[in-house]
């Protein structure tokens, strides 16, 4: 052997023994007698699940001559804390009291006062993209969530499929011996795999979370949610009118933690707690609404509210003393003083209910934190509480809406209608409510813009608080270092002493893209430079790049409350750039692009490099078109569907979509003596959908047009006992003969004629002048022979309204032309032009 090579090899061996061996032992530490039932071990963690150990006993011909041996149980490193990861939804930086807001959030205050406030923590500007980044430690495009799944397209950065080479924190902690759970919102299961046939690898239980209690999708009613336990739909609200998911979720999480603690008090837990609050609908209980109304927090209006929050933020030290309040956008939003008395009355009601929802949500989070203390684990639990997954939501239109399904279909409900019909029931299950845009803008103080806007801090800056008793030596401190949601997983792994796995289920893992912020826990590092140097942002064409105290941002190309509207077809290279020096301008107040052309050019080049690296390309600024784009769901390419037995709970993304097309629904039934009634088929619910049913023996087909109108076809005679065929045929006017003719009657949401038949005989015929163009109520499902959630018409029936006859067969046929992406864009343009003329 070459002597130099021999010395080198020996050196490597010695280095490994002296330097790496202690680390390896720390990661593979066995307790108890090896082979005994009580033995435990940690694992190196580079490969999960860990390979089965070699049998350590002996086997002879007889058991009496053999030695039994048990593989040691895998446990985390001895000092690993429990982890409680909390995130609320659609909360602007200036909303909670903890960051200067007027809305009381004592649970967030509790975490802040016993730990740290982070004032420079950032999201992606939209729900599921932030959540995908949060649980993987990678950028949202890297894990397929450039947008929400409802807008997914067939590009790696936008398909809403988390790749297998980017395992979640749930999977990593589970295979290292933690109990893992997920409570609340799951907006990371693709809409096209959300049915009971799965596949379930992209559900929480398929991503390393042993227990899931929550809803699948962007939002849901808190009164009648599309709720799951693991993968099974459950309906605890039936017969329980005071039930609310916000409380029920906390109850279930508390029960889970107590169960883990009582069965195995030594087992650490990871609880991912993400309630629906405060995403629309804003469903607070009457008690919380009254509590907030009695505080009169918003009587002076949104302009004065901004000044109050701004002053509070300076007192708390969560913004610099020289930070400037960004100007009110007079070209977009009204000043409070210019409103009518009716507008002020309505808008105050809207924001009071929102504030009640936030306070209520925080209260229930407080119960969960208290439960950790009650079981004696708070001193060994790290709590990460992120206030919002993006900035305040402006998806409720300029005047708010009693029904968010209406606003997502481009329908604005006038103020007088809201006051007359919905004012007293705002926040109840009779509304799917959202507040007026200016409130959300104000609750993003001191920043400008909002949710969906990735280029400005109103959309991406989140308040975050972290506590960890005995490990944070600056209780009540403030940290200003720049960090991002992708930094949470690396932080959790560091404090747990667990490495990021290099291989999961035999698949090599991509490296983490975030960095740990655990260094900020030490008081001596309070003013240390951030370890997160560069971060891109992109959402629906709007983009920015942060680098070492500078941010280059594109000028906002579309107000986010305009769901259907003009689209910048080429957002890369066809936008105006702004530049901000954040070291001297905390709030993006002063655009210095003109003074620094070289710096801007450098930043634009850096954005392109990051975009190419993290699957951001191709940029796409479309919104509504992506909602109706075809996806690889189980209905793709099918035009005929046959059902022979009752079935409920099929989500919108996996059920036949009959919008913007001609269709025929045929039910072959058998009516018993005495008649029958009940649901044959329904999809959607109280806030938008359709129902096909027998009411007191008479056939009915009803379209609920976003709770503003209901159009019904009804037979005048009861159907006699015996076998019958009931049919509803709808001929859509927007598309003809399987081709597209782009004229004044083309587009989406157009008219059509429906014919209701019994045994081939017409019993009702009428034309529907307008149809729902884009989306049904997304938290309601496609049900056959009974109804779940809410009825499409409360005056006709209440759930479950099971069919009391026999449904032998139900067939749904559609006559939908195959649409190319260009066709869809033309349809949207035609619809936009039609609406402008209407």
DSSP string, 85-104: EEE-SS--TTSBGGGT-SB-
Yes or no: say if 441 and 394 are a contact pair by the CB < 8 Å rule. Answer: yes
The domain boundary, picked from 75, 93, 124, lies at: 75
Spatial distance between the Cα atoms of 560 and 359, rounded to a whole number of angstroms: 26
| 555 CB neighbour count, 10 Å cutoff | 13
- Nearest CA-CA partner of 362 in 292, 458, 448: 292
Classify the C-alpha dihedral 825-830-834-837 as positive or negative: positive
Spatial distance between the Cα atoms of 257 and 237, rounded to a whole number of angstroms: 23
Residues 6 or more apart from 152 whose CB is under 8 A from it? 144, 158, 159, 160, 190, 191, 626, 629, 631
Yes or no: say if 133 and 143 are a contact pair by the CB < 8 Å rule. Answer: yes
Which one-letter DSSP state was computed for residue 434? B
- Nearest CA-CA partner of 776 in 679, 691, 662, 678: 691
Residue 233 lies in a domain: yes
Spatial distance between the Cα atoms of 426 and 283, rounded to a whole number of angstroms: 8
Co-location of 142 and 264 in the same domain: yes
Which one-letter DSSP state was computed for residue 739? B
Spatial distance between the Cα atoms of 699 and 713, rounded to a whole number of angstroms: 8
Yes or no: say if 663 and 814 are a contact pair by the CB < 8 Å rule. Answer: yes
Co-location of 648 and 607 in the same domain: no
The domain boundary, picked from 559, 594, 612, lies at: 612
Spatial distance between the Cα atoms of 635 and 646, rounded to a whole number of angstroms: 19
Yes or no: say if 156 and 144 are a contact pair by the CB < 8 Å rule. Answer: yes
The token pair that represents 722 in the structure block: 């015996």
The token pair that represents 679 in the structure block: 């649901």
- Dihedral angle computed from the Cα positions of residues 709, 715, 721 and 727, in that order, rounded to the nearest 10 degrees: -80
pLDDT value of position 784: 96
pLDDT value of position 622: 87
Residue 620 lies in a domain: no
Spatial distance between the Cα atoms of 94 and 102, rounded to a whole number of angstroms: 8
Spatial distance between the Cα atoms of 30 and 50, rounded to a whole number of angstroms: 14
Phi, psi for residue 566 in degrees, rounded to 5: -60, 145
Peptide bond connecting 102 to the previous residue in cis, omega within 30 degrees of 0:
no
Yes or no: say if 491 and 497 are a contact pair by the CB < 8 Å rule. Answer: no
Which one-letter DSSP state was computed for residue 99? G
- Dihedral angle computed from the Cα positions of residues 199, 204, 207 and 211, in that order, rounded to the nearest 10 degrees: -120
Co-location of 114 and 41 in the same domain: no
- Nearest CA-CA partner of 405 in 435, 436, 432, 437: 432
Co-location of 99 and 71 in the same domain: no
Spatial distance between the Cα atoms of 149 and 189, rounded to a whole number of angstroms: 8
Co-location of 558 and 691 in the same domain: no
- In angstroms, what CA-CA distances link 36 with 25, 78, 204? 20, 19, 33
Can you tell me whether residue 214 is helix, strand or coil?
strand
Residue 678 lies in a domain: yes
Residue 484 lies in a domain: yes
Residue 282 backbone zone (phi > 0: left; psi -120 to 50: alpha; other: beta):
beta
- CATH number of the domain that residue 185 is part of: 3.40.720.10
Spatial distance between the Cα atoms of 360 and 287, rounded to a whole number of angstroms: 9
Residues 6 or more apart from 584 whose CB is under 8 A from it? none
Give the chain's radius of gyration (CA, Å). 28
Can you tell me whether residue 829 is helix, strand or coil?
helix
Can you tell me whether residue 7 is helix, strand or coil?
helix
Instruction: Please tell me the chain's helix, strand, coil percentages from 3-state DSSP, rounded to the nearest 5.
Output: 30, 25, 50
Half-sphere exposure in the Cβ direction for 338 (13 Å, CA):
6
Q: Does pTM surpass 0.75? A: yes
Spatial distance between the Cα atoms of 585 and 553, rounded to a whole number of angstroms: 14
Report which secondary-structure segment, H or E, holds 810.
strand 806-815
Query: Which residue carries 């009381």 as its tokens?
Result: 104
Yes or no: say if 137 and 514 are a contact pair by the CB < 8 Å rule. Answer: yes
Co-location of 605 and 688 in the same domain: no
Classify the C-alpha dihedral 143-146-149-151 as positive or negative: negative
Phi, psi for residue 192 in degrees, rounded to 5: -90, 10
Co-location of 712 and 823 in the same domain: yes
pLDDT value of position 31: 77
Co-location of 576 and 673 in the same domain: no
Phi, psi for residue 553 in degrees, rounded to 5: -125, 140
Residue 330 lies in a domain: yes
Co-location of 506 and 552 in the same domain: yes
Spatial distance between the Cα atoms of 593 and 608, rounded to a whole number of angstroms: 18
Query: Which residue carries 């980044």 as its tokens?
Result: 133
Q: For 168-207, what is each residue's pLDDT tens digit?
A: 999 999 999 999 999 999 999 999 998 888 899 999 999 9
Spatial distance between the Cα atoms of 699 and 705, rounded to a whole number of angstroms: 19
Domain residue limits at 34: 1-45+67-75
Number of H helices, E strands in the chain: 17, 33
- Dihedral angle computed from the Cα positions of residues 415, 421, 423 and 427, in that order, rounded to the nearest 10 degrees: -110
Residue 630 lies in a domain: no
Half-sphere exposure in the Cβ direction for 728 (13 Å, CA):
27
> Which residues face 477 on adjacent strands?
116
Yes or no: say if 580 and 591 are a contact pair by the CB < 8 Å rule. Answer: yes
Co-location of 294 and 428 in the same domain: yes
pLDDT value of position 8: 34
Spatial distance between the Cα atoms of 795 and 645, rounded to a whole number of angstroms: 27
Co-location of 336 and 477 in the same domain: yes
> Which residues face 65 on adjacent strands?
none
> Which residues face 814 on adjacent strands?
663
The token pair that represents 186 in the structure block: 């799951």
Spatial distance between the Cα atoms of 790 and 151, rounded to a whole number of angstroms: 25
Can you tell me whether residue 838 is helix, strand or coil?
coil
Domain count, the chain: 3
Half-sphere exposure in the Cβ direction for 107 (13 Å, CA):
23
Residue 617 lies in a domain: no
Yes or no: say if 271 and 384 are a contact pair by the CB < 8 Å rule. Answer: no
Spatial distance between the Cα atoms of 827 and 670, rounded to a whole number of angstroms: 41
- Nearest CA-CA partner of 369 in 108, 154, 164: 108
Report which secondary-structure segment, H or E, holds 211.
strand 211-216
Yes or no: say if 728 and 813 are a contact pair by the CB < 8 Å rule. Answer: no
- Nearest CA-CA partner of 95 in 452, 369, 391, 434: 391
pLDDT value of position 822: 62
Residue 222 CB-density burial (10 A; 0-12 exposed, 13-18 middle, 19+ buried): buried
The token pair that represents 580 in the structure block: 């901000």
Residue 517 CB-density burial (10 A; 0-12 exposed, 13-18 middle, 19+ buried): buried
Low-confidence stretches of the chain (pLDDT < 70) are 1-28, 564-569, 735-747, 817-838
Which one-letter DSSP state was computed for residue 337? G
Residue 733 lies in a domain: yes
- Nearest CA-CA partner of 248 in 258, 236, 261, 231: 236
Q: β-pairing, 647-650 with 82-87?
A: unpaired
pLDDT value of position 34: 82
Co-location of 645 and 550 in the same domain: no
């Amino acid at each position: 052997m070459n002597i130099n090579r021999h010395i080198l090899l020996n050196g490597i061996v010695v280095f490994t023994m002296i330097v790496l061996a202690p680390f390896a032992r720390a990661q593979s530490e066995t307790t108890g007698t090896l082979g005994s039932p009580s033995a435990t071990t940690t694992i190196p963690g580079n490969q999960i699940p860990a390979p089965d150990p070699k049998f350590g006993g002996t086997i002879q011909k007889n058991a009496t001559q053999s030695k039994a041996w048990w593989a040691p149980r895998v446990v985390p490193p001895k000092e690993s804390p429990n982890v409680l990861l909390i995130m609320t939804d659609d909360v602007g930086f200036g909303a909670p009291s903890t960051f200067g807001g007027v809305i009381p959030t004592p649970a967030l205050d509790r975490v802040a006062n016993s730990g740290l406030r982070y004032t420079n923590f950032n999201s992606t500007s939209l729900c599921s993209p932030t959540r995908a980044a949060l649980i993987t430690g990678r950028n949202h495009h890297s894990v397929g969530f450039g947008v929400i799944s409802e807008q997914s397209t067939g590009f790696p950065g936008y398909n809403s499929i988390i790749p297998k080479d980017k395992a979640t924190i749930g999977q990593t902690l589970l295979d290292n011996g933690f109990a893992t759970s997920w409570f609340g919102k799951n907006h990371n299961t693709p809409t096209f795999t959300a049915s009971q046939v799965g596949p379930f690898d992209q559900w929480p239980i398929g991503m390393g979370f042993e227990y899931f209690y929550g809803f699948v999708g962007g939002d849901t009613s808190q009164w009648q949610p599309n709720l799951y336990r693991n993968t099974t739909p459950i309906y605890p609200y039936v017969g329980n009118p005071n039930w609310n998911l916000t409380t029920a979720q906390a109850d279930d999480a508390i029960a889970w933690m107590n169960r883990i603690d009582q069965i195995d008090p030594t087992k650490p837990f990871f609880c991912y707690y993400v309630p629906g609050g405060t995403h629309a609908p804003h469903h607070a209980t009457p008690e919380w609404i009254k509590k907030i109304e009695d505080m009169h927090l918003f009587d002076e209006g949104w302009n004065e509210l901004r000044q109050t929050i701004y002053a509070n933020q300076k007192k708390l030290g969560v913004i610099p003393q020289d930070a400037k309040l960004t100007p009110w956008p007079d070209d977009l939003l009204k000043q409070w003083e210019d409103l009518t008395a009716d507008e002020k009355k309505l808008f105050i009601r809207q924001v009071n209910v929102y504030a009640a929802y936030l306070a209520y949500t925080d209260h229930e989070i407080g119960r969960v934190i208290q439960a950790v203390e009650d079981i004696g684990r708070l001193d060994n639990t790290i709590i990460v509480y992120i206030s919002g997954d993006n900035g305040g939501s402006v998806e409720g239109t300029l005047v708010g809406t009693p029904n968010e399904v209406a606003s997502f279909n481009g329908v604005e409900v006038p103020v007088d209608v809201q006051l007359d019909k919905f004012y007293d029931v705002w926040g109840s299950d009779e509304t799917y409510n959202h507040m007026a845009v200016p409130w959300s803008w104000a609750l993003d103080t001191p920043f400008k813009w909002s949710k969906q806007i990735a280029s400005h801090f109103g959309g991406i800056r989140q308040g975050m608080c972290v506590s960890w008793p005995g490990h944070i030596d600056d209780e009540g401190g403030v940290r200003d270092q720049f960090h991002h949601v992708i930094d949470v997983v690396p932080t959790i792994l560091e404090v747990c002493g667990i490495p990021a796995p290099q291989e999961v289920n035999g698949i090599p893992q991509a490296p983490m893209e975030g960095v740990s912020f655990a260094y900020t826990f030490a008081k001596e590092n309070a003013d240390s430079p951030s370890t997160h140097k560069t971060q891109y942002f992109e959402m629906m064409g709007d983009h920015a790049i942060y680098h070492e105290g500078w941010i280059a941002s594109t000028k906002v190309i579309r107000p986010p409350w305009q769901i259907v509207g003009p689209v910048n077809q080429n957002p890369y290279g066809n936008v105006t750039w702004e530049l901000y020096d954040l070291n001297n301008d905390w709030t993006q107040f002063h655009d210095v692009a003109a003074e620094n052309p070289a710096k801007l050019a450098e930043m634009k080049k850096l954005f392109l490099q990051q975009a190419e690296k993290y699957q951001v390309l191709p940029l796409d600024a479309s919104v509504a078109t992506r909602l109706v784009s075809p996806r690889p769901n189980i209905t793709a390419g099918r035009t005929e569907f046959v059902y022979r037995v009752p079935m409920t709970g099929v989500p919108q993304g996996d059920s036949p979509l009959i919008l913007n097309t001609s269709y025929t629904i045929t039910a072959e039934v058998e009516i018993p003596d005495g008649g029958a009634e009940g649901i044959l088929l329904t999809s959607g619910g109280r806030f938008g959908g359709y129902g096909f049913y027998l009411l007191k023996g008479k056939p009915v087909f009803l379209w609920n047009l976003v709770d503003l109108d209901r159009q019904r076809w009804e037979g005048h005679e009861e159907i006699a006992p015996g076998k019958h065929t009931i049919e509803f045929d709808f001929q859509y006017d927007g598309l003809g003969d399987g081709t597209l003719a782009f004229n004044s009657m083309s587009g989406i949401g157009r008219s059509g004629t429906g014919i209701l038949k019994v045994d081939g005989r017409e019993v009702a015929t009428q034309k529907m002048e307008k149809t729902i163009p884009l989306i049904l109520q997304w938290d309601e499902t496609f049900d056959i022979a009974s109804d779940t959630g809410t009825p499409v018409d409360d005056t006709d029936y209440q759930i479950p309204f099971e069919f009391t006859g026999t449904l032998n067969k139900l067939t749904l046929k559609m006559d939908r032309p195959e649409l190319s992406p260009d066709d869809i864009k033309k349809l949207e343009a035609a619809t936009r032009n039609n609406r402008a003329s209407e």
